Structure 1
Amino acid sequence: MRAIADLLPRVPLKKSDFHYELPAELIAQAPLAERSASRLLLVPPVPGALADAHVHDLPGLLRAGDLLVFNDTRVIPARLFGQKATGGRVEILIERLLGAQQARAQVGASKTPKPGSRIALDAGGEVEVLGRDGEFYVLQFHVPEALEQWLLHAGRLPLPPYIQREPGLDDRERYQTVFAREVGAVAAPTAGLHFDDALLDALRAKGVEFGHVTLHVGAGTFQPVRVDDLKDHVMHREWLNVGAELVQQVRRTREAGGRVIGVGTTVVRALESAMRDGELLPFAGETQIFITPGYRIRSVDAMVTNFHLPESTLLMMISAFAGKERVFEAYRHAIAQRYRFFSYGDAMLLFPQG
């Protein structure tokens, strides 16, 4: 793991440095009919010009021998509702499954639930509060199946808070990548949502290779940065796995002159967490890595990424990669050209600053 000093900003940075104004109507409330029909803003290094394209144009933009790295996490229906013994309503958002019947979760209630208290679930069964784990609660579920299986029919999909509607049946498919397989996320790795089977086939035909990491996106991804001085921000924890096979794929790609392209900030977060003295090594465990300008991202040569919330840690990460001025130039262009923003929105193909 990198030294803590390597994870901190090199210059004083403020949350307010990453603010921008976004018209509310540009926040995508639903996916397009076709995944790969989303627009794609090409952001080459300066002085290259920004260019408008579509995600389905990627086979013509990438080269044979390039490696696309995807996050294969699968979103669980992690939102539940219930009632305390006093009658108060409770909302539960599972952050991580801890075993067959336990989970770490956010609990929203009018009064803080105490250890030993029980919550009757609207979907049946009940939850016992075992204690606190930082800002989360550790919960014991008393339900008739293993928790992971029970959630598939009892839980509700946790759409991001900026999507102002209830989840529908289509979201069960569309808020999930087509290559999702490792159960454990409470939010989708949204850059991967743009890839459908037809696009993957076209990329394979071009000679582009695919690799996978797992990073279970946690509920903390929706939490705002609450301090203005970024050195005081405490990053949320997420579990990841960068396997030996992916490490070998990256080495072979680089040795052959190909490019490693991370599909989404979660992939880059996973890969950077697995770097040791400039070398990618297998790693499984938790990360709290916080990437801001001043940090040099070495694990990828380009990124496919959606447009991120103002003042978010994801916007800070891509600013570290491509340069804050370049990123904000791209965002101004995207707003002027009426791109769609956030989870169900459009994407960028982003290259590092020169």
Structure 2
Amino acid sequence: MKNTPTEISLNDYTYNLPEEKIAKEPLKERSDSKLLTYKNGILGHDVFNNIAEHIPSGACLIFNNTRVIPARLFFVKDTGALIEIFLLEPLAPTNEVASAMLVKNTCVWKCMIGNLKKWKEDQALRLELHDGQQLKVKITDRQQQLVEFTWDSNEVFVHVLEAAGKIPLPPYINREVTFEDQERYQTVYSKFEGAVAAPTAGLHFDDKTLESLSKKKVDFDYLTLHVSAGTFQPIKVDNVLEHAMHSEQVVVTLENINTLLSKNFIVSVGTTSMRTLESLYWYGVKLINGETEFFINKLYPYDHEAGVLPSKSDALEAVKRYLIEKSLTQITGQTEIFIFPGYKFRICNGLITNFHLPGSTLILLVAAFIGEDWREVYKKAIANDYRFLSYGDSSLLLPS
């Protein structure tokens, strides 16, 4: 039987967010942000640098170690027209994000193009890099907005982007990128380039906070989800089930799976880590059912044939066996999992997350995790002058 609801109203997951509550700048110190705690239905207030006092000893925090790339590129035509190219996902010579960062000479990406009508399909645009080198772009498919990049240096693509691009701050910040953003819109543990938006729950952590957690015998592990531009996409339909979820690339290691199998209390640092972890469970279900493709479509947890589902350990053991059989130390997959109320969490026991836009997929995820109490959490956050969205304050959600 299928468990997919037929309708979820967007109006049930909105709230009034005053413009002045949106954080436009980062705090001077990462861990000075406020921390709203929700434990077994009880709300509290603290500062993020005290988060170790609220995490159970023996818990394991799962971080997303993706690194934001300078995904916004600006080209000026001879006529003066400005063309903006926003990188979305690589297509050639590889569609694996990590590998795409290391290609040389040429590549093709799916993009969003600003002022597209001013750019003719047979017209090449150029941007000066350094030492007389150039980056050249041309459209290979106008309808799909596919762009070919070529450059005449021997540098890998990520270094070309660092020379030519800008960090893509969320549109609601509504200001120019500054030098400070280059560092503050990355987590201190970011490692693998490929995201076009930061996993913002992790922006509050600094070395001192991580050390305090280690002293409390809280363990850490790191996986990768390359956050896509879909994270900025608002829901524009009344029935949220009709919202198109963007696929995002995830990388999970054998070490991650061993960690998850050995820990009883998993706290996801951010919604991106949570989506990865829950997708991993469903990939284990697919393997048990004889399907090997690591792609979780948005309604798979609700749509697939129900019955008695595997335990967390059974699903993870299935993934582990598959990796060992294929002599793999990690696996790359795609997920567009849509977590909304009615979803049963299989791996995550806790969530550290910022405060999200009304009527967003992330509000639906929070509502799925803590139920109707999400309204009280947001009401208290607004009443107590919490800062919202990417550069805003944090919450620790421990529903049981």
Q: Same fold (TM over 0.5)?
A: yes
Q: Deviations over 1:33-56 (max 9, x none)?
A: 11111111111233xx21001111
* CA distance in structure 2 between the aligned counterparts of 1:121 and 1:311, rounded to whole angstroms: 39
Aligned to 1:50, the other structure's residue is in SS state strand
Give the match for residue 148 of structure 2. 139
* CA distance in structure 2 between the aligned counterparts of 1:235 and 1:316, rounded to whole angstroms: 13
Aligned to 1:162, the other structure's residue is in SS state helix
Aligned to 2:263, the other structure's residue is in SS state helix
Match of residue 26, structure 1, among 21, 24, 41: 21
* CA distance in structure 2 between the aligned counterparts of 1:133 and 1:59, rounded to whole angstroms: 50
* CA distance in structure 1 between the aligned counterparts of 2:10 and 2:260, rounded to whole angstroms: 33
| Shift in Å, 1:264 | 0.1
Match for 1:228: what amino acid? D
Match for 1:118: what amino acid? A
* CA distance in structure 2 between the aligned counterparts of 1:335 and 1:226, rounded to whole angstroms: 24
Label 1:133 to 1:287 Cα distance change in 2 as closer, same or farther (>3 A). farther
* CA distance in structure 2 between the aligned counterparts of 1:44 and 1:162, rounded to whole angstroms: 30
* CA distance in structure 1 between the aligned counterparts of 2:223 and 2:116, rounded to whole angstroms: 39
* CA distance in structure 1 between the aligned counterparts of 2:120 and 2:239, rounded to whole angstroms: 33
Match for 1:142: what amino acid? W
Match for 1:121: what amino acid? L
| Shift in Å, 1:219 | 1.4
Unaligned runs of 5+ in 2: 92-99, 286-311, 321-330
| Shift in Å, 1:288 | 1.0
Label 1:121 to 1:241 Cα distance change in 2 as closer, same or farther (>3 A). same
Match for 1:328: what amino acid? R
Give the match for residue 232 of structure 2. 222
Give the match for residue 126 of structure 1. 136
Give the match for residue 315 of structure 1. 363
Match for 1:54: what amino acid? V
Alpha carbons 2:65, 2:189 under 8 Å: kept: yes
| Shift in Å, 1:67 | 0.1
Alpha carbons 2:127, 2:164 under 8 Å: kept: no
* CA distance in structure 1 between the aligned counterparts of 2:90 and 2:181, rounded to whole angstroms: 21
Give the match for residue 222 of structure 2. 212
| Shift in Å, 1:125 | 2.5
Give the match for residue 350 of structure 2. 302
1:239 maps to 2:249: yes
Q: Detail structure 1 runs of 4+ shifted over 6 Å in the superposition.
A: none
Unaligned runs of 5+ in 1: none
* CA distance in structure 1 between the aligned counterparts of 2:152 and 2:338, rounded to whole angstroms: 37
Aligned to 2:173, the other structure's residue is in SS state coil
Using structure 2 for the length normalisation, give the TM-score: 0.80
1:340 maps to 2:387: yes
Aligned to 2:163, the other structure's residue is in SS state helix
| Shift in Å, 1:63 | 2.4
1:14 maps to 2:12: no
Match for 2:343: what amino acid? Y
The root-mean-square deviation of aligned C-alpha atoms, in Å, is 2.1
Count how many residue pairs are aligned between Structure 1 and Structure 2. 340
Moved more, 303-312 or 101-110: 101-110
| Shift in Å, 1:137 | 2.6
User: Which runs of structure 2 are paired with 1:169-184 in the superposition (5 Å)?
Assistant: 169-184=179-194
| Shift in Å, 1:226 | 2.0
Match for 1:271: what amino acid? L
Give the match for residue 169 of structure 2. 159
Moved more, 270-279 or 153-162: 270-279
Percent same amino acid among aligned pairs? 42
Structure index of larger Rg: 2
Using structure 1 for the length normalisation, give the TM-score: 0.90
Label 1:150 to 1:120 Cα distance change in 2 as closer, same or farther (>3 A). same
| Shift in Å, 1:139 | 3.0
